[in-house]
Chains A and B, each alone.
Chain A
Amino acid sequence: MNNSAVARRRFPLSIVVLLAAVVILAILPFYIRGYWIRVLTTLFMSAVLAEALNLVVGYAGYAAFGNGVFFGLGAYTTAVLMTRFGWSFFPAMIASCFLAATVAFLLGWPVLRLRGHYFAIATIGINMAVMEIVTYVGITGGGKGISLPLFPGDIVKQGLFFYYGMFILLIISVAITYWIANSRLGYGLRAIKTEPEAAEVMGVNTTLYKVLAWSISAAITGIAGSLNAYWLTFLEPLFVFDIMISVEAFVMVLLGGPATIFGPVIGAFFLKLLSELIWSQFTLIHMGVLGLIIVVITLFLPSGIMGLWRQMTLRWNKANTARTSPGSQ
Protein backbone atom coordinates (compact mmCIF):
# COMPACT_ATOMS: atom_id res chain seq x y z
CA MET A 1 0.00 0.00 0.00
CA ASN A 2 2.83 2.28 0.95
CA ASN A 3 4.64 1.45 -2.29
CA SER A 4 1.72 2.26 -4.55
CA ALA A 5 1.19 5.53 -2.70
CA VAL A 6 4.79 6.49 -3.42
CA ALA A 7 4.36 5.49 -7.06
CA ARG A 8 1.15 7.47 -7.39
CA ARG A 9 2.78 10.54 -5.93
CA ARG A 10 5.92 10.33 -8.06
CA PHE A 11 4.32 9.68 -11.42
CA PRO A 12 2.48 13.02 -11.75
CA LEU A 13 5.47 14.83 -10.23
CA SER A 14 7.78 13.76 -13.04
CA ILE A 15 5.16 14.85 -15.59
CA VAL A 16 4.86 18.23 -13.85
CA VAL A 17 8.62 18.72 -13.86
CA LEU A 18 8.75 17.75 -17.52
CA LEU A 19 5.96 20.13 -18.53
CA ALA A 20 7.51 22.94 -16.49
CA ALA A 21 10.86 22.39 -18.22
CA VAL A 22 9.21 22.47 -21.64
CA VAL A 23 7.26 25.65 -20.85
CA ILE A 24 10.31 27.40 -19.40
CA LEU A 25 12.48 26.48 -22.39
CA ALA A 26 9.68 27.57 -24.73
CA ILE A 27 9.43 31.10 -23.30
CA LEU A 28 13.07 31.49 -22.31
CA PRO A 29 14.24 33.16 -25.55
CA PHE A 30 12.18 36.23 -24.68
CA TYR A 31 14.16 36.76 -21.51
CA ILE A 32 17.74 35.95 -22.46
CA ARG A 33 20.42 37.46 -24.70
CA GLY A 34 21.44 36.19 -28.13
CA TYR A 35 24.55 34.52 -26.75
CA TRP A 36 22.57 32.26 -24.43
CA ILE A 37 20.04 31.54 -27.15
CA ARG A 38 22.92 30.26 -29.25
CA VAL A 39 24.30 28.23 -26.35
CA LEU A 40 20.91 26.60 -25.76
CA THR A 41 20.43 25.93 -29.48
CA THR A 42 23.76 24.08 -29.55
CA LEU A 43 22.77 22.27 -26.40
CA PHE A 44 19.45 21.11 -27.92
CA MET A 45 21.35 19.90 -30.96
CA SER A 46 23.77 17.89 -28.81
CA ALA A 47 20.84 16.42 -26.91
CA VAL A 48 19.19 15.42 -30.20
CA LEU A 49 22.37 13.71 -31.39
CA ALA A 50 22.72 11.90 -28.06
CA GLU A 51 19.07 10.87 -28.03
CA ALA A 52 19.36 9.51 -31.57
CA LEU A 53 22.59 7.67 -30.74
CA ASN A 54 20.89 6.19 -27.66
CA LEU A 55 18.56 4.16 -29.90
CA VAL A 56 21.50 2.26 -31.33
CA VAL A 57 23.96 2.35 -28.43
CA GLY A 58 21.59 2.29 -25.46
CA TYR A 59 18.74 0.13 -26.67
CA ALA A 60 20.28 -2.15 -29.29
CA GLY A 61 23.72 -2.17 -27.65
CA TYR A 62 25.67 -1.41 -30.82
CA ALA A 63 28.58 1.01 -30.43
CA ALA A 64 27.91 3.26 -33.43
CA PHE A 65 31.07 5.34 -33.04
CA GLY A 66 30.71 6.87 -36.49
CA ASN A 67 27.05 7.89 -36.18
CA GLY A 68 28.13 11.48 -36.93
CA VAL A 69 28.31 10.46 -40.59
CA PHE A 70 24.54 11.03 -40.80
CA PHE A 71 24.99 14.50 -39.33
CA GLY A 72 27.45 15.32 -42.10
CA LEU A 73 25.27 13.66 -44.75
CA GLY A 74 22.23 15.66 -43.63
CA ALA A 75 24.24 18.87 -43.61
CA TYR A 76 25.70 18.33 -47.09
CA THR A 77 22.42 17.16 -48.62
CA THR A 78 20.75 20.37 -47.47
CA ALA A 79 23.71 22.50 -48.60
CA VAL A 80 23.86 20.97 -52.08
CA LEU A 81 20.11 21.02 -52.63
CA MET A 82 19.75 24.65 -51.52
CA THR A 83 22.90 26.05 -53.14
CA ARG A 84 23.16 24.05 -56.36
CA PHE A 85 19.51 23.27 -57.02
CA GLY A 86 17.77 26.23 -55.45
CA TRP A 87 15.57 24.20 -53.12
CA SER A 88 14.07 25.94 -50.12
CA PHE A 89 15.00 24.78 -46.64
CA PHE A 90 12.12 22.53 -45.58
CA PRO A 91 12.06 20.28 -48.65
CA ALA A 92 15.86 20.07 -48.41
CA MET A 93 15.56 19.10 -44.75
CA ILE A 94 13.06 16.33 -45.53
CA ALA A 95 15.33 15.05 -48.31
CA SER A 96 18.30 15.06 -45.90
CA CYS A 97 16.30 13.04 -43.41
CA PHE A 98 15.36 10.48 -46.06
CA LEU A 99 18.85 10.22 -47.47
CA ALA A 100 20.41 9.63 -44.04
CA ALA A 101 17.79 7.01 -43.19
CA THR A 102 18.18 5.28 -46.55
CA VAL A 103 21.96 5.10 -46.25
CA ALA A 104 21.63 3.61 -42.75
CA PHE A 105 19.02 1.16 -43.99
CA LEU A 106 21.18 -0.04 -46.88
CA LEU A 107 24.45 -0.16 -44.93
CA GLY A 108 22.73 -1.67 -41.90
CA TRP A 109 22.08 -5.08 -43.46
CA PRO A 110 25.74 -5.94 -43.95
CA VAL A 111 27.28 -3.83 -41.19
CA LEU A 112 24.93 -4.68 -38.31
CA ARG A 113 25.80 -8.34 -38.68
CA LEU A 114 29.22 -7.47 -37.28
CA ARG A 115 29.58 -7.91 -33.56
CA GLY A 116 30.95 -5.53 -30.95
CA HIS A 117 34.19 -3.81 -31.83
CA TYR A 118 33.96 -4.72 -35.50
CA PHE A 119 30.73 -2.79 -35.86
CA ALA A 120 32.20 0.22 -34.03
CA ILE A 121 35.23 0.23 -36.32
CA ALA A 122 33.08 -0.24 -39.42
CA THR A 123 31.00 2.85 -38.57
CA ILE A 124 34.17 4.90 -38.09
CA GLY A 125 35.32 3.63 -41.49
CA ILE A 126 32.03 4.66 -43.08
CA ASN A 127 32.34 8.13 -41.56
CA MET A 128 35.84 8.53 -42.99
CA ALA A 129 34.91 7.11 -46.38
CA VAL A 130 31.92 9.44 -46.78
CA MET A 131 34.06 12.39 -45.73
CA GLU A 132 36.58 11.50 -48.42
CA ILE A 133 33.87 11.20 -51.04
CA VAL A 134 32.42 14.58 -50.08
CA THR A 135 35.89 16.12 -50.21
CA TYR A 136 36.64 14.87 -53.72
CA VAL A 137 33.28 15.27 -55.41
CA GLY A 138 32.82 18.56 -57.25
CA ILE A 139 29.20 19.25 -56.44
CA THR A 140 29.85 19.51 -52.69
CA GLY A 141 32.46 22.23 -53.07
CA GLY A 142 35.14 19.74 -51.99
CA GLY A 143 37.67 20.56 -49.34
CA LYS A 144 37.14 24.31 -49.74
CA GLY A 145 33.64 24.00 -48.32
CA ILE A 146 30.24 25.19 -49.46
CA SER A 147 28.16 28.25 -48.55
CA LEU A 148 24.41 28.10 -48.02
CA PRO A 149 21.87 30.83 -48.72
CA LEU A 150 21.40 33.11 -45.72
CA PHE A 151 18.32 32.80 -43.55
CA PRO A 152 15.85 35.48 -44.67
CA GLY A 153 15.10 37.91 -41.84
CA ASP A 154 17.07 39.73 -39.17
CA ILE A 155 19.42 38.21 -36.65
CA VAL A 156 16.80 38.01 -33.90
CA LYS A 157 14.36 36.11 -36.10
CA GLN A 158 17.19 33.87 -37.24
CA GLY A 159 18.18 33.09 -33.65
CA LEU A 160 14.59 32.22 -32.72
CA PHE A 161 14.07 30.07 -35.83
CA PHE A 162 17.02 27.82 -35.02
CA TYR A 163 16.29 27.82 -31.29
CA TYR A 164 12.75 26.57 -31.82
CA GLY A 165 13.78 24.33 -34.70
CA MET A 166 16.26 22.42 -32.52
CA PHE A 167 13.88 22.51 -29.55
CA ILE A 168 11.04 20.93 -31.52
CA LEU A 169 13.43 18.36 -32.98
CA LEU A 170 14.52 17.49 -29.44
CA ILE A 171 10.91 17.05 -28.31
CA ILE A 172 10.23 14.86 -31.34
CA SER A 173 13.28 12.69 -30.71
CA VAL A 174 12.32 12.23 -27.05
CA ALA A 175 8.76 11.34 -28.12
CA ILE A 176 10.09 8.81 -30.65
CA THR A 177 12.33 7.28 -27.98
CA TYR A 178 9.37 7.06 -25.59
CA TRP A 179 7.28 5.37 -28.25
CA ILE A 180 10.05 2.91 -29.16
CA ALA A 181 10.84 2.09 -25.52
CA ASN A 182 7.24 1.01 -24.97
CA SER A 183 6.76 -0.79 -28.24
CA ARG A 184 7.63 -4.20 -29.61
CA LEU A 185 10.65 -2.59 -31.28
CA GLY A 186 12.00 -1.39 -27.93
CA TYR A 187 11.56 -4.77 -26.23
CA GLY A 188 13.14 -6.49 -29.21
CA LEU A 189 16.14 -4.14 -29.10
CA ARG A 190 16.67 -4.58 -25.36
CA ALA A 191 16.55 -8.34 -25.84
CA ILE A 192 19.01 -8.17 -28.75
CA LYS A 193 21.36 -6.17 -26.55
CA THR A 194 21.81 -8.89 -23.94
CA GLU A 195 20.89 -12.18 -25.66
CA PRO A 196 20.64 -11.89 -29.44
CA GLU A 197 20.30 -15.65 -29.99
CA ALA A 198 17.52 -16.00 -27.45
CA ALA A 199 15.77 -12.98 -29.00
CA GLU A 200 16.01 -14.54 -32.46
CA VAL A 201 14.59 -17.94 -31.46
CA MET A 202 11.76 -16.15 -29.66
CA GLY A 203 10.62 -14.68 -32.95
CA VAL A 204 12.48 -11.36 -33.10
CA ASN A 205 13.74 -10.53 -36.58
CA THR A 206 16.96 -9.25 -35.05
CA THR A 207 18.64 -7.96 -38.19
CA LEU A 208 15.53 -6.03 -39.25
CA TYR A 209 15.09 -4.54 -35.78
CA LYS A 210 18.70 -3.36 -35.60
CA VAL A 211 18.45 -1.88 -39.10
CA LEU A 212 15.21 -0.08 -38.18
CA ALA A 213 16.74 1.36 -35.00
CA TRP A 214 19.78 2.58 -36.90
CA SER A 215 17.65 4.09 -39.67
CA ILE A 216 15.48 6.01 -37.20
CA SER A 217 18.64 7.17 -35.44
CA ALA A 218 20.10 8.28 -38.77
CA ALA A 219 16.92 10.10 -39.78
CA ILE A 220 16.95 12.21 -36.60
CA THR A 221 20.70 12.83 -36.86
CA GLY A 222 20.29 13.83 -40.51
CA ILE A 223 17.68 16.47 -39.65
CA ALA A 224 19.96 17.86 -36.94
CA GLY A 225 22.76 18.10 -39.52
CA SER A 226 20.43 19.81 -41.96
CA LEU A 227 19.30 22.45 -39.45
CA ASN A 228 22.87 22.96 -38.35
CA ALA A 229 24.03 23.53 -41.94
CA TYR A 230 21.38 26.19 -42.55
CA TRP A 231 22.32 27.80 -39.24
CA LEU A 232 26.08 27.86 -39.89
CA THR A 233 25.65 28.82 -43.60
CA PHE A 234 29.10 27.39 -44.32
CA LEU A 235 30.25 23.75 -44.32
CA GLU A 236 33.57 22.02 -44.52
CA PRO A 237 33.98 18.21 -44.62
CA LEU A 238 36.49 18.22 -41.76
CA PHE A 239 34.03 20.06 -39.58
CA VAL A 240 30.72 18.22 -40.09
CA PHE A 241 32.33 14.78 -40.34
CA ASP A 242 34.47 15.36 -37.25
CA ILE A 243 34.61 12.11 -35.25
CA MET A 244 34.42 14.22 -32.07
CA ILE A 245 30.73 14.88 -32.81
CA SER A 246 30.08 11.15 -32.34
CA VAL A 247 32.41 10.82 -29.39
CA GLU A 248 30.75 13.70 -27.56
CA ALA A 249 27.27 12.25 -28.16
CA PHE A 250 28.57 8.93 -26.91
CA VAL A 251 29.81 10.46 -23.68
CA MET A 252 26.44 12.17 -23.19
CA VAL A 253 24.57 8.86 -23.60
CA LEU A 254 26.86 7.06 -21.15
CA LEU A 255 26.85 9.94 -18.70
CA GLY A 256 23.09 10.40 -18.69
CA GLY A 257 22.13 6.73 -18.81
CA PRO A 258 21.94 4.44 -21.84
CA ALA A 259 18.56 2.89 -22.72
CA THR A 260 16.66 5.51 -20.73
CA ILE A 261 14.30 8.04 -22.28
CA PHE A 262 15.72 11.22 -20.72
CA GLY A 263 19.25 10.05 -19.86
CA PRO A 264 20.93 11.34 -23.03
CA VAL A 265 19.19 14.71 -22.70
CA ILE A 266 20.36 15.03 -19.10
CA GLY A 267 23.85 13.94 -20.13
CA ALA A 268 23.89 16.57 -22.88
CA PHE A 269 22.73 19.37 -20.57
CA PHE A 270 25.23 18.34 -17.93
CA LEU A 271 28.21 18.14 -20.26
CA LYS A 272 27.37 21.20 -22.35
CA LEU A 273 26.57 23.52 -19.46
CA LEU A 274 29.67 22.35 -17.64
CA SER A 275 31.80 23.00 -20.68
CA GLU A 276 30.12 26.35 -21.27
CA LEU A 277 30.44 27.54 -17.67
CA ILE A 278 33.87 26.24 -16.78
CA TRP A 279 35.90 25.09 -19.72
CA SER A 280 35.36 27.98 -22.09
CA GLN A 281 38.37 29.49 -20.32
CA PHE A 282 40.41 26.31 -20.69
CA THR A 283 39.88 25.34 -24.33
CA LEU A 284 43.13 23.45 -24.41
CA ILE A 285 42.25 20.93 -21.72
CA HIS A 286 38.67 20.48 -22.98
CA MET A 287 39.58 17.13 -24.55
CA GLY A 288 41.41 16.09 -21.42
CA VAL A 289 38.37 16.71 -19.25
CA LEU A 290 36.16 14.84 -21.72
CA GLY A 291 38.53 11.89 -21.49
CA LEU A 292 38.53 12.05 -17.72
CA ILE A 293 34.71 11.99 -17.67
CA ILE A 294 34.70 8.90 -19.91
CA VAL A 295 37.03 7.11 -17.51
CA VAL A 296 35.03 8.14 -14.45
CA ILE A 297 31.72 7.00 -15.96
CA THR A 298 32.99 3.63 -17.09
CA LEU A 299 34.56 3.01 -13.70
CA PHE A 300 31.95 4.36 -11.33
CA LEU A 301 28.69 5.08 -13.19
CA PRO A 302 27.98 2.17 -15.52
CA SER A 303 24.34 3.17 -15.90
CA GLY A 304 24.85 6.92 -15.83
CA ILE A 305 23.10 9.67 -13.92
CA MET A 306 19.70 8.01 -14.43
CA GLY A 307 21.04 4.77 -12.95
CA LEU A 308 22.42 6.66 -9.95
CA TRP A 309 19.07 8.42 -9.53
CA ARG A 310 17.17 5.14 -9.67
CA GLN A 311 19.46 3.59 -7.06
CA MET A 312 19.02 6.55 -4.76
CA THR A 313 15.22 6.58 -5.01
CA LEU A 314 15.16 2.83 -4.51
CA ARG A 315 17.24 3.13 -1.36
CA TRP A 316 15.14 6.07 -0.18
CA ASN A 317 11.92 4.09 -0.72
CA LYS A 318 13.34 1.10 1.13
CA ALA A 319 14.40 3.24 4.08
CA ASN A 320 10.95 4.79 4.06
CA THR A 321 9.04 1.49 4.00
CA ALA A 322 11.33 0.13 6.71
CA ARG A 323 10.44 3.07 8.90
CA THR A 324 6.67 2.87 8.36
CA SER A 325 6.05 -0.81 7.64
CA PRO A 326 5.53 -2.28 11.15
CA GLY A 327 2.23 -0.43 11.48
CA SER A 328 1.01 -0.28 7.91
CA GLN A 329 1.55 -3.84 6.62
Chain B
Amino acid sequence: MALLEVKNVSRSFGGVQAVNNVSFEVNEGEIVGLIGPNGAGKTTMMNLISGLIKVNEGEIRFQGARLTGLKPHAIAHKGIARTFQIVKPFQGMTVRENVMMGALFRSDLRGLKGSAVKNIVDEALELLELDRRAEAPVEELNLAQRKHLELARAMAMGPKLLLLDEVMAGLNLKEIERLMELVRKLNARGVTILVIEHVMKAVMGLSKRVLVMHHGSLIAQGPPEVITQDPKVIEAYLGKRRHKGLHKEAR
Protein backbone atom coordinates (compact mmCIF):
# COMPACT_ATOMS: atom_id res chain seq x y z
CA MET B 1 0.00 0.00 0.00
CA ALA B 2 1.29 3.44 -0.97
CA LEU B 3 1.67 6.17 1.66
CA LEU B 4 -0.46 8.62 -0.33
CA GLU B 5 -3.11 7.57 -2.82
CA VAL B 6 -4.86 10.09 -5.03
CA LYS B 7 -7.77 8.51 -6.89
CA ASN B 8 -9.66 10.22 -9.73
CA VAL B 9 -9.58 13.57 -7.99
CA SER B 10 -11.24 16.58 -9.64
CA ARG B 11 -11.73 20.17 -8.57
CA SER B 12 -13.06 23.14 -10.49
CA PHE B 13 -13.33 26.85 -9.74
CA GLY B 14 -16.32 28.23 -11.55
CA GLY B 15 -15.63 27.23 -15.15
CA VAL B 16 -11.94 26.45 -14.61
CA GLN B 17 -11.17 22.74 -14.24
CA ALA B 18 -8.10 23.23 -12.02
CA VAL B 19 -7.62 19.51 -11.32
CA ASN B 20 -9.19 17.01 -13.69
CA ASN B 21 -9.50 13.32 -12.79
CA VAL B 22 -5.98 12.97 -11.42
CA SER B 23 -4.69 9.71 -9.94
CA PHE B 24 -1.24 8.92 -8.59
CA GLU B 25 0.53 7.36 -5.65
CA VAL B 26 3.46 8.32 -3.50
CA ASN B 27 5.35 5.50 -1.79
CA GLU B 28 7.02 5.68 1.58
CA GLY B 29 10.55 7.08 1.43
CA GLU B 30 10.26 8.58 -2.06
CA ILE B 31 10.94 12.09 -3.30
CA VAL B 32 8.38 12.60 -6.07
CA GLY B 33 8.50 15.64 -8.33
CA LEU B 34 5.36 17.41 -9.57
CA ILE B 35 5.91 19.68 -12.54
CA GLY B 36 3.84 21.50 -15.13
CA PRO B 37 3.46 24.94 -16.74
CA ASN B 38 1.93 27.89 -14.89
CA GLY B 39 -1.70 27.29 -13.99
CA ALA B 40 -1.42 23.51 -14.51
CA GLY B 41 -3.11 22.82 -11.16
CA LYS B 42 -0.06 21.84 -9.06
CA THR B 43 -0.78 24.13 -6.12
CA THR B 44 -4.46 23.20 -6.27
CA MET B 45 -3.46 19.52 -6.04
CA MET B 46 -1.42 20.34 -2.93
CA ASN B 47 -4.30 22.32 -1.44
CA LEU B 48 -6.56 19.33 -1.99
CA ILE B 49 -4.16 16.98 -0.20
CA SER B 50 -3.70 19.32 2.77
CA GLY B 51 -7.45 19.96 2.94
CA LEU B 52 -7.45 23.72 2.38
CA ILE B 53 -9.67 23.10 -0.63
CA LYS B 54 -12.34 20.39 -0.85
CA VAL B 55 -12.37 17.89 -3.67
CA ASN B 56 -15.38 17.83 -6.00
CA GLU B 57 -14.90 14.20 -6.97
CA GLY B 58 -12.58 11.33 -6.15
CA GLU B 59 -10.75 10.57 -2.95
CA ILE B 60 -7.39 10.93 -1.29
CA ARG B 61 -6.02 8.33 1.14
CA PHE B 62 -3.09 8.54 3.51
CA GLN B 63 -1.76 5.34 5.09
CA GLY B 64 -4.91 3.69 3.83
CA ALA B 65 -7.29 6.10 5.62
CA ARG B 66 -9.51 8.62 3.86
CA LEU B 67 -8.41 12.26 4.07
CA THR B 68 -11.30 13.53 1.99
CA GLY B 69 -13.67 15.53 4.18
CA LEU B 70 -11.19 16.12 7.02
CA LYS B 71 -10.28 19.64 8.16
CA PRO B 72 -6.71 20.77 7.40
CA HIS B 73 -5.67 20.64 11.08
CA ALA B 74 -6.86 17.05 11.34
CA ILE B 75 -4.89 16.18 8.20
CA ALA B 76 -1.83 17.86 9.75
CA HIS B 77 -2.28 15.70 12.84
CA LYS B 78 -2.10 12.61 10.65
CA GLY B 79 1.45 13.55 9.68
CA ILE B 80 1.21 15.72 6.57
CA ALA B 81 3.12 19.02 6.57
CA ARG B 82 3.47 21.55 3.77
CA THR B 83 5.11 24.78 2.72
CA PHE B 84 3.53 27.60 0.73
CA GLN B 85 4.53 28.88 -2.70
CA ILE B 86 4.24 32.41 -1.30
CA VAL B 87 5.90 32.03 2.11
CA LYS B 88 3.61 32.61 5.09
CA PRO B 89 5.71 33.38 8.17
CA PHE B 90 3.80 34.38 11.30
CA GLN B 91 4.56 38.08 11.60
CA GLY B 92 5.21 39.50 15.04
CA MET B 93 6.89 36.29 16.23
CA THR B 94 10.54 35.36 16.39
CA VAL B 95 12.05 32.66 14.19
CA ARG B 96 12.03 30.30 17.19
CA GLU B 97 8.36 31.01 17.93
CA ASN B 98 7.50 30.32 14.28
CA VAL B 99 9.15 26.93 14.46
CA MET B 100 7.60 26.30 17.86
CA MET B 101 4.18 26.59 16.20
CA GLY B 102 5.01 23.37 14.40
CA ALA B 103 5.83 21.53 17.61
CA LEU B 104 3.10 22.99 19.84
CA PHE B 105 0.17 21.56 17.93
CA ARG B 106 1.46 18.07 17.24
CA SER B 107 -1.10 15.46 18.12
CA ASP B 108 1.61 13.12 19.43
CA LEU B 109 2.93 15.71 21.91
CA ARG B 110 -0.25 16.50 23.83
CA GLY B 111 0.60 16.79 27.49
CA LEU B 112 4.34 16.58 26.97
CA LYS B 113 6.51 19.04 28.83
CA GLY B 114 8.07 22.24 27.53
CA SER B 115 11.50 20.66 27.31
CA ALA B 116 10.30 18.12 24.73
CA VAL B 117 8.94 20.98 22.62
CA LYS B 118 12.19 22.91 23.04
CA ASN B 119 14.29 19.96 21.91
CA ILE B 120 12.20 19.50 18.78
CA VAL B 121 12.43 23.21 17.98
CA ASP B 122 16.20 23.33 18.55
CA GLU B 123 16.67 20.32 16.33
CA ALA B 124 14.55 21.76 13.51
CA LEU B 125 16.34 25.12 13.74
CA GLU B 126 19.71 23.42 13.53
CA LEU B 127 18.65 21.11 10.72
CA LEU B 128 17.58 24.05 8.54
CA GLU B 129 20.61 26.13 9.58
CA LEU B 130 18.53 28.77 11.32
CA ASP B 131 19.91 28.31 14.84
CA ARG B 132 21.94 31.52 14.66
CA ARG B 133 18.85 33.53 13.71
CA ALA B 134 16.57 31.85 16.26
CA GLU B 135 15.80 34.92 18.36
CA ALA B 136 15.48 37.33 15.41
CA PRO B 137 12.07 38.74 14.53
CA VAL B 138 10.87 36.84 11.50
CA GLU B 139 10.60 40.10 9.53
CA GLU B 140 14.42 40.30 9.46
CA LEU B 141 14.88 37.12 7.40
CA ASN B 142 15.77 37.25 3.71
CA LEU B 143 13.92 35.14 1.14
CA ALA B 144 16.24 32.13 1.36
CA GLN B 145 16.00 32.13 5.15
CA ARG B 146 12.22 32.41 4.94
CA LYS B 147 12.15 29.34 2.72
CA HIS B 148 14.29 27.53 5.27
CA LEU B 149 11.87 28.67 7.97
CA GLU B 150 8.93 27.17 6.07
CA LEU B 151 10.82 23.87 6.08
CA ALA B 152 11.88 24.15 9.73
CA ARG B 153 8.28 24.76 10.83
CA ALA B 154 7.12 21.80 8.78
CA MET B 155 9.86 19.55 10.20
CA ALA B 156 8.97 20.54 13.77
CA MET B 157 5.59 18.95 13.09
CA GLY B 158 7.34 15.59 12.79
CA PRO B 159 5.69 14.81 9.42
CA LYS B 160 5.62 11.52 7.54
CA LEU B 161 4.80 13.31 4.28
CA LEU B 162 6.12 16.72 3.35
CA LEU B 163 4.58 18.75 0.52
CA LEU B 164 6.91 21.40 -0.90
CA ASP B 165 5.43 24.08 -3.17
CA GLU B 166 8.21 25.78 -5.17
CA VAL B 167 10.66 26.20 -2.31
CA MET B 168 13.44 26.95 -4.78
CA ALA B 169 11.64 29.75 -6.65
CA GLY B 170 13.43 33.09 -6.42
CA LEU B 171 16.66 31.65 -5.00
CA ASN B 172 20.08 31.91 -6.64
CA LEU B 173 22.07 28.91 -7.80
CA LYS B 174 24.10 28.61 -4.63
CA GLU B 175 21.02 28.81 -2.43
CA ILE B 176 19.26 26.23 -4.59
CA GLU B 177 22.12 23.79 -4.22
CA ARG B 178 22.19 24.27 -0.47
CA LEU B 179 18.44 23.74 -0.21
CA MET B 180 18.58 20.64 -2.41
CA GLU B 181 21.16 19.23 -0.05
CA LEU B 182 18.83 19.94 2.88
CA VAL B 183 15.81 18.38 1.18
CA ARG B 184 17.84 15.21 0.63
CA LYS B 185 18.80 15.30 4.28
CA LEU B 186 15.15 15.52 5.37
CA ASN B 187 14.35 12.60 3.09
CA ALA B 188 17.22 10.61 4.58
CA ARG B 189 15.55 11.09 7.95
CA GLY B 190 12.61 9.09 6.69
CA VAL B 191 10.32 11.87 5.46
CA THR B 192 8.53 11.18 2.20
CA ILE B 193 8.46 14.25 -0.02
CA LEU B 194 6.23 15.51 -2.82
CA VAL B 195 7.91 18.48 -4.41
CA ILE B 196 6.43 20.99 -6.86
CA GLU B 197 9.22 22.70 -8.70
CA HIS B 198 9.79 24.90 -11.72
CA VAL B 199 13.55 24.74 -11.36
CA MET B 200 14.23 21.71 -13.53
CA LYS B 201 17.72 21.16 -12.22
CA ALA B 202 16.26 20.73 -8.73
CA VAL B 203 13.52 18.30 -9.78
CA MET B 204 15.96 16.22 -11.82
CA GLY B 205 18.46 16.18 -9.03
CA LEU B 206 16.01 15.28 -6.29
CA SER B 207 13.43 12.88 -7.63
CA LYS B 208 13.61 9.52 -9.32
CA ARG B 209 9.98 9.84 -10.35
CA VAL B 210 8.26 12.89 -11.79
CA LEU B 211 4.54 13.63 -12.34
CA VAL B 212 3.59 16.11 -15.05
CA MET B 213 0.36 18.12 -14.95
CA HIS B 214 -1.08 20.24 -17.73
CA HIS B 215 -4.46 22.02 -17.79
CA GLY B 216 -5.48 20.14 -14.66
CA SER B 217 -4.71 16.67 -15.99
CA LEU B 218 -1.84 14.33 -15.26
CA ILE B 219 -0.24 13.89 -18.69
CA ALA B 220 2.83 11.82 -17.85
CA GLN B 221 4.80 10.20 -15.08
CA GLY B 222 8.11 8.43 -14.89
CA PRO B 223 11.84 8.91 -14.38
CA PRO B 224 13.05 12.45 -15.20
CA GLU B 225 15.18 11.35 -18.20
CA VAL B 226 12.15 9.73 -19.82
CA ILE B 227 9.79 12.57 -18.95
CA THR B 228 11.91 15.24 -20.61
CA GLN B 229 11.86 13.26 -23.87
CA ASP B 230 8.08 12.71 -23.78
CA PRO B 231 6.49 14.54 -26.76
CA LYS B 232 3.35 15.34 -24.71
CA VAL B 233 5.45 17.03 -22.04
CA ILE B 234 7.50 18.97 -24.56
CA GLU B 235 4.28 20.03 -26.25
CA ALA B 236 2.78 21.15 -22.93
CA TYR B 237 5.76 23.32 -22.15
CA LEU B 238 6.62 24.57 -25.61
CA GLY B 239 3.22 24.51 -27.27
CA LYS B 240 1.80 27.82 -26.25
CA ARG B 241 4.57 29.54 -24.37
CA ARG B 242 7.67 29.30 -26.45
CA HIS B 243 9.28 32.02 -24.41
CA LYS B 244 8.90 30.00 -21.22
CA GLY B 245 10.69 26.79 -22.01
CA LEU B 246 11.22 23.65 -19.99
CA HIS B 247 14.45 25.05 -18.63
CA LYS B 248 13.13 28.40 -17.48
CA GLU B 249 14.34 29.68 -14.15
CA ALA B 250 17.24 27.25 -14.19
CA ARG B 251 19.57 30.23 -14.22
Contacts and interface: CB of A to CB of B under 8 A. Distances in A.
Give the interface centre of A194, A197, A200, A201 by most chain B CB atoms within 10 Å: A201
Interface string A185-206: 0011011011101111111111
Contact of B73 (A190, A194, A203): A203
B50 interface: yes
A286 interface: no
Interface of A: 184, 187-188, 190-191, 193-195, 197-206, 259
Contacts of A201: 50-52, 72-73, 75-76, 81-82
B73 A205 contact: yes
B105 A195 contact: no
A203 to B, nearest CB: 3
Contacts of A191: 90, 93, 101
Interface in B75-123: 75-77, 81-82, 84, 88-93, 97, 100-102, 104-107
B160 interface: no
B91 A204 contact: no
B39 to A, nearest CB: 20
B28 to A, nearest CB: 21
B153 interface: yes
B97 A187 contact: yes
Contact of A187 (B77, B104, B107): B104
Contacts of A193: 92
B104 A197 contact: no
A203 B51 CA distance: 12
Contact-size category for B: 20 to 34
B250 to A, nearest CB: 28
A184 B75 CA distance: 19
A193 B77 CA distance: 21
A204 B51 CA distance: 13
B145 to A, nearest CB: 16
Contacts of A187: 97, 100-101, 104
A125 B124 CA distance: 46
26 contacts: A184-B105, A187-B97, A187-B104, A190-B90, A191-B93, A193-B92, A194-B91, A195-B90, A197-B72, A197-B88, A198-B84, A198-B88, A199-B90, A200-B71, A200-B72, A201-B52, A201-B72, A201-B75, A202-B76, A202-B101, A202-B105, A203-B77, A203-B105, A203-B157, A206-B73, A259-B92
Contacts of B91: 194-195
A199 B157 CA distance: 12
A205 B105 CA distance: 9
A259 B90 CA distance: 14
A203 B52 contact: no
Nearest to A205: B73
B44 to A, nearest CB: 14
Contacts of B100: 187
Contacts of B84: 197-198
Interface string B51-62: 110000000000
A290 to B, nearest CB: 27
A184 B107 CA distance: 13
Nearest to A208: B73
Nearest to A194: B91
